Chain A
Amino acid sequence: MSVKAKLILGTAVLLGLIIMPPFLDAGWQNALNTMLIASLFALSFNLLAGQAGLLSFGHAAYFGIGAFAALHLMQAIEDGLPIATPLLPLAGALAGLIAGVCAGWFATMRSGVYFALVTLAIAELFHSFAPHLKNLFGGESGISGMRMPWAGFNFGTVLEVYYLTLAWVIVCTALLWAYTRTPFGRLTLALRDNEQRVLFMGYDAHIAKTVIFAVSAMFSGVAGALQAMSNETANYALFASHVSAQVVLYTYVGGATLFFGPVFGAVAFTLFAFLVSDLTRSWLFYQGLIFVLVMLYAPNGIGGAIAYHVRHWRELNWSRLAQPYGIALIGGMLVTAGVVFVTETVSILFGLEYENLRGNAEGGFPEFALLGGTWSPTSPITWALPASLLIGGIWLIRKAIKQINDTQDDNRELDDSVTDKEGVQA
């Protein structure tokens, strides 16, 4: 994509984020707020995971620390400390930075799996310790504060909080982007690709990695502080492993090899949670499924796959690719429909409500309602429908993949240049 196209796209997104929210209801404003926070969290995580190649499974720790730091500052402002409310995330940044320097110093002594385990242990340490430290983390119930008015804003509405979050997220994203343009940002990539060469060039890899870790933790702290600011409360559950898991999901589904990939993942998943969590109890299952499928078939994430197509837009033979892509899309939709049907059927048939229904029907299998129809568990149609959807969909996808591979065989040169690039990135 040309620089001009990127600029136009970026401006459009930015304008949309600024202009749209007043016309949305509070639920959507809240969802956008969550999206922004998740995006920043994922971006800061990706600095470590994607750019430096250090996979952390405990980033919830720095997110949580940022949140608690912001709440403590919030309480202090309530008691009369003369600091402007919009500067609250600075407390998160500072706390995240300090925690990041300490934790990073130790964690980066190891690499690979051992690094992942150290970060995991640190987060678990916080998670199991926090409930016992009443003063710092408020025990099991956590601590809460109040956003104090500042300069005419009283931060009472969701919209005001949203704009504050937006401002912080834009500033932090710009800083993180600028970071990648600095020589140190280049060194970060070099550490991922070949640490030995970096050592030979005379850099101290350990200190560099500690700095990267600390910067990443600092921005995670800002994200945590923003969340604390909008919720006005936080408890030790912020340190839980599923918070760390979420950010891993965001980043790798979006694409860790791209700067904005994690944002894509964070937006997609928070939007997904916002829209789907009301409709079905199994949305976490779908989330896990999407993650595993992306890991299997698009190792560079969805963003990575899109970026590949954008980058090679001119070289790709669209007249030959359009048909298999269309077939794959239809196949994908059929498979999705089949999976959703089966999952929801299982969720209903094994649910408590259905057990009661069966009790009323004296042990028989009464009909159940799903997707606007009623289905009988004993009728073959109920099972033949999803089965045919799945089989038909998979058949179509396989056919499409074969066609796409045939096309690519003809473009072997192009393919080779791509694998070279991917090899460097991996």
Chain B
Amino acid sequence: MEFLIISTLNGVIYGLLLFMVSAGLTLIFGMMGILNFAHASFYMLGAYLAYALSPIIGFWGGILVAPLLVGLFGMLTERYLLRRVHAHGHAHELLLTFGLALIIAEVVKLFFGDFPVAYQIPDDLRFAAFSVFGTDYPFYRVFIGTVAVAMFVVLWLLLSRTRVGIVVRAAERLPEIAEALGHNIPVVFMCVFGAGAALAGLAGAVAGAFYPTNPNMAAELGVIVFVVVVVGGLGSLKGSLLASLLIGLFSSFAVGIDLSLANLLGLIGLGDWARSVGGLLTTEVSSISGTIPFALMLLVLLVRPAGLMGERN
């Protein structure tokens, strides 16, 4: 029971963090058809900028300013880099963001070194939100979750209830018509790209203080975020939320499960045979928890490429 509740809590929080990063990615893909390889790098930039700014303007200042800077960087990226290669097709845009991700990782190493930095939450935030089964549950985890939920609500309201949202959705569906109606679509694209980057930056600034901040964080999270947007359906915000929670819960539970195929086969009397074969059959779920998201992504891509909530292929 304890394992169940703690794992659920951790899983939901981690899932919400994944959602914060993947929301921007899925929004950008839905709109511009660009799979942004550098998106997780924006997340990393957010964490590092907040780390660099926090001694100057304080922890909260860092969390507020870092996403804005990352958003600005995203807008510049769209305006001066992506738009330039747009004429050469999506493959080139993909390759460009891919190169950008390499550069950002190296720049971060250049300034902050090839090791984790001490980006920590301030001491007055280190208290327990509540306690379950005698262990204190840290307030900051709850805070990460709250930020993500708030972000989802704001984003959803913005897209579905405001004029800005209508223009953005119009630009996503039929850019030519929206442009003919007098909306400046290139600027909309630039802003959406910037907003997506800022969201990733916010996630980085908030989560970097809790999870380790190192130059590999982009590469590690990057693939998982791809899994999330693919499983949820490229371009679907709700799908992303669902998939994030799914993957979050999954990874938090898988770590604690010591079952293997041999145990399963044991139920039908083949346990000894499986153990004698070894290899894949005796690999425990916990040790391959990193593998399963990719298997899931592969399955979704092959069976239902539109994802759980996506509308189109």
Contact surface of A with B, Cβ cutoff 8 Å: 53, 55, 57, 106, 109-110, 112-114, 116-118, 120-122, 124-125, 128-129, 132-136, 241, 245, 248-249, 252, 282, 284-285, 287-289, 291-292, 295-296, 299, 343, 346-347, 350-352, 426
The verdict on B98 contacting chain A, using a C-beta distance below 8 Å, is yes
Residues of B within 8 A of A124 (CB): 223, 294
- Residues from chain B with a CB closer than 8 A to the CB of A346 are 110-111
Of B102, B305, B313, which contacts A291 at CB under 8 A?
B102
How far, in angstroms, from A349 to B291 measured CA to CA in the complex?
Answer: 40
Contact check, B294 vs A295: say whether CB atoms are below 8 A apart: no
Task: Report the minimum CB–CB distance from A124 to chain B (whole Å).
Answer: 5
Given A110-B305, A288-B106, A295-B92, A125:B294 Cβ within 8 A = yes
Additional A-B contacts beyond A113-B234, A284-B106, A295-B95 (17; CB < 8 A): A55-B94, A110-B301, A110-B305, A113-B35, A114-B301, A117-B230, A117-B301, A121-B227, A121-B294, A128-B294, A132-B288, A249-B99, A284-B102, A292-B81, A296-B85, A346-B111, A352-B113
> Do A129 and B291 form a contact, CB below 8 Å, given A117-B297, A285-B106, A351-B113?
yes
Are A291's CB and B89's CB within 8 A? no
Cβ-defined partner of B85 (8 Å) among A112, A117, A133, A299 = A299
| Interface residue tally on B, bucketed by range | 35 or more
B residues 170-226 with Cβ under 8 Å of A? Answer: 219, 223, 226
Interface residues of B in 265-313 (CB under 8 A from A): 278-280, 283, 287-288, 290-291, 294-295, 297-298, 301-302, 305, 313
Contacts of A288 in B (CB 8 A): 99-100, 102-103, 106
A-B contacts, 29 of them at CB < 8 A, read A55-B94, A55-B95, A110-B301, A110-B305, A113-B35, A116-B35, A118-B298, A118-B302, A121-B294, A121-B298, A125-B291, A132-B283, A132-B288, A133-B279, A241-B219, A241-B223, A282-B109, A284-B102, A284-B106, A285-B103, A285-B107, A288-B99, A288-B100, A288-B103, A299-B88, A299-B92, A346-B110, A350-B110, A350-B113
A243 to chain B, nearest CB (A): 13
A296 contacts B226, C-beta separation under 8 Å: no
- The distance from the CB of B287 to the nearest CB of chain A, in whole angstroms, is 6
Contact A350 to B94, CB < 8 A, known contacts A117-B297, A135-B278: no
Question: Is A245 in contact with B102, judged by CB distance below 8 angstroms?
Answer: yes
Whether A282 contacts B90 by the Cβ 8 Å rule is no
Given contacts A106-B302, A350-B113, whether A128 and B291 have CB atoms under 8 Å apart is yes
Chain B neighbourhood of A287, CB < 8 A: 102
Question: Do residues A122 and B298 form an inter-chain contact, with CB atoms below 8 A?
Answer: yes
Q: A128-B288, A284-B102, A288-B106 are in contact. Are A296 and B113 (CB under 8 A)?
A: no
Chain B residues with Cβ under 8 A from A134's Cβ?
278-279
